[in-house]
Amino acid sequence: MAGGIKKFVVGSFDDEAVLFPAVKNVRKQGYKIHDVYTPFPIHGLDHALGLRETSIHTAGFIYAITGTTTALSFMSWVFTKDWPLNIGGKPHFALPAWIPITFELTVLFSAVGMVLTFCYLCQLSPFVKKHHFHARATDDLFVMAIECTDKTNDEEVQSFLQKAGAKEINIQHAETGWWIGRYDREQKLYKEEKGY
């Protein structure tokens, strides 16, 4: 939740073709890119930023087999142990007849589990609020936030971004975590300190 307040140099690009080399150059210079916010998924940007592959699909698989086992073990327990019901003289352990429900529960567990995991990992929920570096990051701008440390010379970063093709550059002090809040109100996780 809490990430603390940090200082960022924020550069906004209006073309993904300019963004790609910029990302590459910024990283080559040794600056730390906090994140890039884009209005739509850009293929290859995660690799360019050096992010590792997501393993959300592995989680999906685990949820799926949980669903399969839940369905199969529950139905077997009900029909062979708890209440063996004679249905047309057919075997109590009627595996072929259980395939449809087993399949449905496999899909259900996997889908629900994956979406919940996704929301958890990305901290997505109603009434969750985060700092937005640029309102047009969900419209038509590709927003790169570079984290500043004590050693960073922001002037240098800014002129570097200018050269890389950023259309808008500014410095922001932002909270990196999320907090409970509403978008119609100005709410912050931390009280703004003096000096910023």
Partner 1 sequence: MSLLKYESQQREPLVGGNKNYHQVTEDIISPIEMKPSKLWYIGFYISVGLLLFGAYSVYREVTYGIGQWNVNKTIGWGWDITNFVWWVGIGHAGTLISAILLLFRQGWRTGVNRAAEAMTIFAVMCAGQFPIWHMGRVWMAFFVLPYPNSRGPLWVNFNSPLLWDVFAISTYFTVSLLFWYSGLLPDLATVRDRAKTKLRKLLYGVASFGWTGSTKHWQRHESLSLVLAGLSTPLVLSVHTIVSFDFATSIVPGWHTTIFPPYFVAGAIFSGFAMVQTLLIVVRKVMGLEDYITLGHIEAMNKVIVLTGSIVGCAYLTELFIAWYGQNPYEWYAFSQNRANLFSPYGWSYWLMMFCNVVSPQLFWSRKLRRNITVTFFMSIVVNIGMWYERFVIIVTSIYRDFLPSSWSTYYSPSIWEIGFYLGTFGLFFTCFFLFAKYFPVIAVAEIKSILKTTGETYKAKMTEVEKKDADKFYIEEVEHAH
Contact set for partner 1, span 5-44 (CB under 8 A): 16-17, 20-21, 35-44
Of 85 and 151, the one with the shorter C-beta distance to partner 1 is: 85
Q: Is 122 in the site for partner 1 (CB under 8 A)?
A: yes
Binding of partner 1 by 65 (CB under 8 A)? no
Applying CB under 8 A, does 60 fall inside the site for partner 1?
yes
Q: Which of residues 156-175 bind partner 1 (CB under 8 A)?
A: none
Chain positions 175 to 194 lying near partner 1, rule: CB under 8 A, are 178, 182-184
Could you say which of 129, 167, 168, 177 contacts partner 1 (CB under 8 A)?
129
Distance CA 196, CA 194 (A): 6
CB 112 to partner 1: min, Å: 7
Number of residues that bind partner 1 (CB under 8 A): 72
Answer yes or no whether residue 123 interacts with partner 1 by CB under 8 A.
Answer: yes
The total of other beta-carbon atoms located within 10 Å of residue 175's CB is 18
Which long-range contacts (C-beta less than 8 Å, at least 24 apart) are formed by 89-93? none
Q: Which residue lies nearer to partner 1 by CB, 108 or 171?
A: 108
Supply the minimum distance, in Å, between the C-beta of residue 88 and partner 1.
9
| Contact map string, positions 69 to 108, toward partner 1, x by CB under 8 A | -----xx--xx--xx-x-x--x---x--xx-xx-xxx-xx
